[in-house]
Amino acid sequence: MGKRRTIHDPIHGGITLDGVFLELMDRHEMQRLRSIRQLGMGSYVFPGANHTRFEHSLGVYHLSKRMAHALGLDETDTTEVAAAALLHDVCHPPFSHTTEDLLEGVLGSDHMESAVKLINGEIEHCRERDMDILGDVPPISKVLSDAGISPERVCELIALPKSRRDGQGSILDVGADRQAFFKTKDYAHQIIHGPVDADQMDYLMRDAHYTGVTLGAVDIERLMSQMCVGNNRLVLRKGGIYAAEGLMVSRALMYSSVYYHKTVRIAELMLTKAANMSGLDFSDIHLMDDCEFMARLVRCESPAASRLVRSLMHRRFYKNAYVRYSVDMDENELAQFVKYSDKANKAALEAEIAARAGVEEHAVVVDIPSKGALLSAARVGKTDVSIIDDDGRIKSITRYSPLAKSLQNRDVFDWVISVSAEARHRAEVAEAAAKVLALDDADGG
């Protein structure tokens, strides 16, 4: 019998790894995740939220194996799914989703697509300074191949088209075009990226535990017992409807109270603005951790960028100065703000508001949802769950659950645009933002 190790996890209890999974866990690429906070800047608002992408990856690995067994997958499918689950976040940049745009700007791919590049050895796996220690380490793909696991299949399980993802990386829909993308064994993909997937279950439970925000419940045991395969997809029997509702409620409330918490959003904007103003080379961002990222910004040559980061470190957050809410706007008005979802246009708006307020540009940050979110009113509950009845017919959970249908119509956020500023300039920025955006509305009309 090969070497085996049991890791004690506060969410799932004992997580057992053996064979190639032990080797993968101990890889330096995975160990970097010990220094990447799962909730990015969330710990500045929720002091207990210092959990990392490393422990989350172990949790997803654990749940994916349980799901594979619940669905009756064979050994090959199970090992491929487990490997994808363990490695799915291996290329997350510092502070997780906060710096995703920087990663995409450098590598031309998000953290999932970048993970595929890292696994296949297409991008650097370590720094020049560590070549004496890690220079002879083969790419992850070779480790997988040597263990009889298909690297191609693992990478296919990890990567997803961008149009299918939400802010946390979860899949948004299960339409016919998705079925066309995944040629076979769609249920295996849905263990990693699906309406009831291992990634989502772990981050909801783990984030709730460490933030102390216990809203909604995720009944893993019930969900596992009601899973099966129908029409090549992961579906739930009718006995799993209540558990699915609990997961959807938990997800909706966690987005509102944690992931889109206004102070967390401001902290994220301050960090990304500092990075964009720093003039630093982030070509190695996939090798950096949270501490190194912050340290580089503190020492950068841009006084404004350094000030922003040091303000964050001392919890001197910017304050909301101006907010427009979706409930107060019609579709035509919403459309006027779409152009600001573009990075360049948003930066220009920040500069214009700062100039009109008579403050330095770095003193203003604008938060606005993505273009897709504004135009399609993206919903946190849009992820659908398929229910199979006793006769083998598969229907959406909304056919059985008014609660699920209600959650699909629940907005992820209630604001359209938010302008924040240094506390000392709050009044001037509020007045300037109101004038600039009022003028823009008039021009647009």
What is the C-alpha to C-alpha distance for residues 255 and 145, in angstroms, rounded to an integer?
38
In a domain, 27, yes or no: yes
The domain containing residue 140 runs over which residues? 7-259
In a domain, 132, yes or no: yes
What φ, ψ does residue 195 adopt, rounded to 5°?
A: -65, -25
In a domain, 167, yes or no: yes
What is the C-alpha to C-alpha distance for residues 309 and 295, in angstroms, rounded to an integer?
9
In a domain, 403, yes or no: no
Q: Give 384's DSSP letter.
A: -
In a domain, 136, yes or no: yes
Chain position carrying tokens 């950096």: 288
| Whole-structure pTM value | 0.90
Sign of CA dihedral 434, 436, 439, 444: negative
The CATH number that applies at residue 41 is 1.10.3210.10
In a domain, 315, yes or no: no
**How open is the CA angle 256-257-263, to the nearest 5 degrees?**
105
Number of separate domains in the chain: 1
> What count of Cα atoms within 13 Å lies in the side-chain half-sphere of residue 6?
5
Tally Cβ neighbours within 10 Å of residue 321: 25
In a domain, 68, yes or no: yes
Are 223 and 194 in contact by the 8 Å Cβ rule? The answer is no
In a domain, 398, yes or no: no
pLDDT in tens, the chain (445 residues): 578 999 999 999 999 999 999 999 999 999 999 999 999 999 999 999 999 999 999 999 999 999 999 999 999 999 999 999 999 999 999 999 999 999 999 999 999 999 999 999 999 999 999 999 998 999 999 999 999 999 999 999 999 644 444 444 444 443 333 333 334 578 999 999 999 999 999 999 999 999 999 887 899 999 999 999 999 999 999 999 999 999 999 998 998 899 989 999 999 999 999 999 999 999 999 999 999 999 999 999 999 999 999 999 999 999 999 999 877 777 777 777 888 888 899 999 999 999 999 999 999 999 987 655 554 444 444 468 999 999 999 999 999 999 998 887 777 677 889 999 999 999 999 999 999 998 765 555 4
> What count of Cα atoms within 13 Å lies in the side-chain half-sphere of residue 7?
20
Which strands sit side by side in the sheet containing 386-388, from one edge to the other? 227-230, 233-237, 386-388, 394-396
